[in-house]
Structure 1
Amino acid sequence: MCLGALKLYCCHLALGEELKQQKMELARLPCPRSLLVFGLVLAVSLGFCAEFVAGVCEPIELPFCEGLAYNHTVMPNVLGHVDQKTAEQDVNGFSALVLLECSPELKPFLCAVYVPECVSGRPKPVCRATCESARLGCERFMNKRGSFWPSELDCTNFSYGDCEYGLTASEIQKKLFDMGHAVGDQVLSLHTARILMSLKDDEKTGKLNTNKFQELQSYVSTVKTEFLAYGRANDGVVSEDQMKNALRARDLRLNELNFGLLWDRYSNAGQIGYDDFVAILARLDALKTRFRTHRMTNLPCDCMMASFSLDDFIRDTLL
């Protein structure tokens, strides 16, 4: 359609040129002149030409976005707000949600949208992973109050490119608690959160992106359901036989010596609570995955063996 024409006009505007050869250029474009002019006005009003035209960095004036890692923005933003005062009217509607602390990423995400960081006169792209994390933590609170995640903030509108993002173990612990992954007064410890993170931290960065956290959240939900099934008759704890059954159900078959060592380490008065139950399964699942990664093939025996470097062995056993 007229996309090429709009980009051509934007490039001319960015260079400050007089459009002297307008007629010649328009003649080559399969786009009516009236539609082109209308489209140009619309594109400029919506910030379409921001890709080509560098703006002027200006100090952030929104109280809502004070205390960010950056203090200068550039307009228009991705929603088409042409000045900060207009953007402020919309972003202030999220103040109550921010006070709920439903997600540590909500405020940074909203500010990245409404008053984006100014980088060489252009707005820094909004990270899709930050959007997804903010939505994951807060959408259920919004739904309980009869509201919905705004369509203009749909995370598919943003890209994973240039994302500087990741959840640490302590942030994972908090998010799992906020999402209801506790059993009565039994909550997951930071130590268990670190084990859980290692289960999904394929890149060994010490952080999880939103997709990996969603996988982890699903894993914890399944383990919690298993614990409740075993512990319901025992006042929220698991017996030795129930722990063995839980391991067998996951094809985590330990010999008596290894199970005894595991049980002695984690059990208290002959039983195991929720936090330790999750830690045991996550630790063994992670070790099983590591073993398979290093597994040797074409062996002259009907056996399973793996080859580890010393660093790999130390890291895996420290889980």
Structure 2
Amino acid sequence: MFSVVSAGQSASEKDCNFQKMEFVRVSRSTIPLLLFTLSLLLSLSPGQPKEKRKDSNPPPSTGICERIQTPVCQGLSYSHTVMPNILGHKNQEEAGLEIHQFYPLIKVQCSHDMQKFLCSVYFPECVNGLAKPVCRTTCESAKQGCVALMNKFGFSWPSPLECESFSTESCNESFTAPEIQKKLVEMGHTVGDQVLSLQTVRILVSLKDVDRSGKLNDHKFQELQSYVSGVKNEYLNFQREKSGAVDESQMKSALTAHDLRLNNLNFSLLWDRYSTAGQISYDDFVAILGRLETLKERFKSHRMTNLPCDCVMASFSLDDFIRDTLL
């Protein structure tokens, strides 16, 4: 699966690599294969991360925002980067070659923040031609989750990535509905010329907005964009089945797949409200699922217990009822 020995290696280097492969062979039965991949890839890494600037607050790079090409850093809360990065990589090719050595750490998910942290270093978010600073808190979370695994295989946390080098100024970030709408478009969550309307995005924000602030932090945005990606794929699959249309039976199938079971009367009311010429648009498809999922979660939060009947009921104040239905 991996090329261990190159033509230019010395005899001692070849022996070292063959010893590593022998270790993998004899131990494969006791340690997960993915962890061996981690050890092997890191040991065969083309080099350690470049030394970053000594000053803790280096000036941001300026340039042209360009879409991220490396798969490792696609699907995040941003889609464009700017070079050079703080490690001195002049282009995405250079940065991509180096970040790839950390892919096993991302794959084993030793930390939820590992991918986010590494990408913020190697492929920083481009904001008006400027590189967004790396968040120290994200670095600390990534290191805390992964450093023990790295140490287990004889590797230490790279000195150029020490968390003390970064600040907390860009850590407390949250996104409003208009900002989220723009990000979803940039990330390709469209169908042809159909984009998600601001009204639909507000519904989606309500689905993930636990503290009712009207904003989502980066983690909740990641959950949201993952949800939208899944719903978009459902819509595209239905389109292919019916030559571009999502009809009534398909809408019922989608609701059932999301465990959103409506009686005939309620489905008829929903269909009459959203359908046009016997079909549902992409924006309305997402809005329907998002709205019903949100109402379902609101219902669960008000659910009554210890009822004298075998039934499911919830208790709402008038204010709660109005707020939860005005989605």
Q: Same fold judged by TM-score > 0.5?
A: yes
Tell me which of 49, 55, 79 is aligned to 1:81. 55
Question: What residue identity is the alignment partner of 2:178?
Answer: S
* CA shift digits 1:50-78 (9 cap, x unpaired): xxxxxxxxxxxxxxxxxxxxxxxxxxxx9
Shift of 1:159: 7.6
Question: What residue identity is the alignment partner of 1:96?
Answer: I
Secondary structure of 1:277's aligned partner: helix
- Indicate if the aligned counterparts of 1:173 and 1:188 stay in contact, CA closer than 8 A: yes
Tell which has more relative contact order, 1 or 2 (C-alpha 8 A, sep 6+): 2
- Indicate if the aligned counterparts of 1:181 and 1:187 stay in contact, CA closer than 8 A: yes
State the partner residue of 1:262: 270
Q: Where does the alignment leave 5 or more consecutive residues of structure 1 unmatched? A: 1-77, 103-131
Tell me which of 216, 220, 223 is aligned to 2:228. 220
Matched, 1:245 2:253: yes
Greater Rg by CA: 1
Aligned runs of 1:158-177 on 2, under 5 Å? 163-177=171-185
Task: Evaluate the alpha carbon distance shift between residue 298 and residue 162 of structure 1 in structure 2; reply closer, same or farther with a 3 A threshold.
Answer: farther
Secondary structure of 1:95's aligned partner: coil
C-alpha distance in structure 2 between counterparts of 1:198 and 1:259, whole Å? 22
Aligned runs of 1:163-242 on 2, under 5 Å? 163-242=171-250
Matched, 1:95 2:51: no
TM-score, normalized by length of structure 1? 0.57
Aligned runs of 1:1-319 on 2, under 5 Å? 80-81=54-55, 87-88=58-59, 91-92=60-61, 94-97=62-65, 100=66, 136-138=77-79, 145-148=92-95, 149=119, 150=121, 153=134, 155-156=138-139, 157=163, 163-319=171-327
C-alpha distance in structure 2 between counterparts of 1:159 and 1:300, whole Å? 56
Task: Evaluate the alpha carbon distance shift between residue 135 and residue 141 of structure 1 in structure 2; reply closer, same or farther with a 3 A threshold.
Answer: farther
Task: Evaluate the alpha carbon distance shift between residue 162 and residue 271 of structure 1 in structure 2; reply closer, same or farther with a 3 A threshold.
Answer: closer
Secondary structure of 1:176's aligned partner: helix
- Indicate if the aligned counterparts of 2:298 and 2:324 stay in contact, CA closer than 8 A: yes
* Alignment length (residue pairs): 205
Q: Once superposed, what is the RMSD of the aligned Cα atoms?
A: 3.3
Task: Evaluate the alpha carbon distance shift between residue 226 and residue 313 of structure 1 in structure 2; reply closer, same or farther with a 3 A threshold.
Answer: same
C-alpha distance in structure 2 between counterparts of 1:270 and 1:195, whole Å? 23
Task: Evaluate the alpha carbon distance shift between residue 310 and residue 81 of structure 1 in structure 2; reply closer, same or farther with a 3 A threshold.
Answer: same
* CA shift digits 1:7-58 (9 cap, x unpaired): xxxxxxxxxxxxxxxxxxxxxxxxxxxxxxxxxxxxxxxxxxxxxxxxxxxx
TM-score, normalized by length of structure 2? 0.56
- Indicate if the aligned counterparts of 1:236 and 1:274 stay in contact, CA closer than 8 A: no
Shift of 1:232: 1.3
C-alpha distance in structure 1 between counterparts of 2:251 and 2:299, whole Å? 22
Q: Taking every aligned residue pair, what percent have the same amino acid on both sides?
A: 57
* CA shift digits 1:247-268 (9 cap, x unpaired): 0111111011100110111000
Shift of 1:95: 1.6
